[in-house]
Structure 1
């Protein structure tokens, strides 16, 4: 391919790899720093907003949001569930998570933990749902699509990883829903020291990171010798 097109393709992959790297490194770094004593280990990832590691958490989510808002993906004329619409939703969700802090509630309280009464906390919960839901759509719907060509062996291997990440996100969301909505205060109180919300959220963010790293051809064992046309950047006029 022409040199300028080759550079554009490499840049396109590098953006995907950057999002994947952030999704993998940052939750590990946050939890690792907590275990090392630099900050308390909170009950949820979002609660890092209220710790000395707030700047790292907020900066990470805003960075992901900006990447996602500027990500065009593949140009598609028809359809609502496109790379552009889903990445925009995910980007707005990521920024909402960062800028609208949640309100940490005692899991032993009899009041349902998702009954947030202040506006910022409600925006936070909505943003988290949009971000994680859009991420699952990427993994289960958009990334596995093969376009107009027969899937290559590498594409089939990558699709398996995408689907595994998508189901990990959905199962984690189901676990979060069960914790918040199905468990009573006594059950939540009994397991609060295990921090189930934190670990389920870590799984979702790690799955996000792995999927984007694979989509950016960041794991060579899953790549083909030739490029999948659907991984090419969208054409630009001029």
Structure 2
């Protein structure tokens, strides 16, 4: 799974770097996100338990990799939250906020929930790490990073799909039209 996870992060990083949004800000945040995704993939936390490569630990893994890994992960999730809380809430067609219809207001509310969900996930990961360092490992802290990285990624993925649904309303698919009708 390690190799699959690194591969997915590299694909995500490549996609985010090559993605061109509607504004310079969106492009820059996307480029930073891509670089941070590559940072998470390139700098592993440890090689412990990676069968067949334990003998390489002293050669290719350094203790500072862990700090770079978690720093890049935190910054990646902050960029995702910024997408949800700022970039995705901007108008699709150059309308002013006073001209937003009820569906745009609903989409913005969903983007805010997703952004706050990402921020809450980051805080919980940090708090569980601090708790684990102070009091030792518990069942909760063992899986907290995995669980709340997953919730952050689900929040971002859903908000990205919602933002990309702008073209779904014109699809010839009755199923897509039904799915997107409450928000588009």
Contact 1:168–1:204, Cα closer than 8 Å, also in 2: yes
1:200 and 2:148 aligned? yes
User: Paired residue for 2:8?
Assistant: 60
Q: RMSD of aligned C-alpha atoms?
A: 2.2
In 1, the alpha carbon distance for the partners of 2:74 and 2:129 equals 13
Residue 214 (structure 1) aligned to one of 146, 162, 166: 162
Contact 2:104–2:183, Cα closer than 8 Å, also in 1: yes
Contact 1:214–1:222, Cα closer than 8 Å, also in 2: no
* C-alpha spacing 1:90/1:204, structure 2 compared with 1 (3 Å): same
Q: For 1:102, what is the secondary structure of its paired residue?
A: coil
In 2, the alpha carbon distance for the partners of 1:214 and 1:177 equals 28
- Structure 1 gaps of 5+ residues are 1-52, 77-81, 106-116, 225-238
User: Paired residue for 2:83?
Assistant: 138
Q: For 2:137, what is the secondary structure of its paired residue?
A: helix
In 1, the alpha carbon distance for the partners of 2:154 and 2:10 equals 17
Residue 92 (structure 1) aligned to one of 18, 29, 35: 35
In 2, the alpha carbon distance for the partners of 1:138 and 1:179 equals 25
Q: For 1:95, what is the secondary structure of its paired residue?
A: helix
**Deviation at residue 59 of structure 1 after TM alignment:** 1.6
What are the equivalent positions in structure 2 for 1:97-112 lying under 5 Å apart?
A: 97-103=40-46
Residue 172 (structure 1) aligned to one of 112, 116, 121: 121
How many matched pairs?
155
User: Paired residue for 1:44?
Assistant: none
| CA deviation string 1:130-189 (max 9, x = no partner) | 110100000011111224342133222211111111010111111111112245543x42
Contact 1:158–1:222, Cα closer than 8 Å, also in 2: no
Contact 1:140–1:163, Cα closer than 8 Å, also in 2: yes
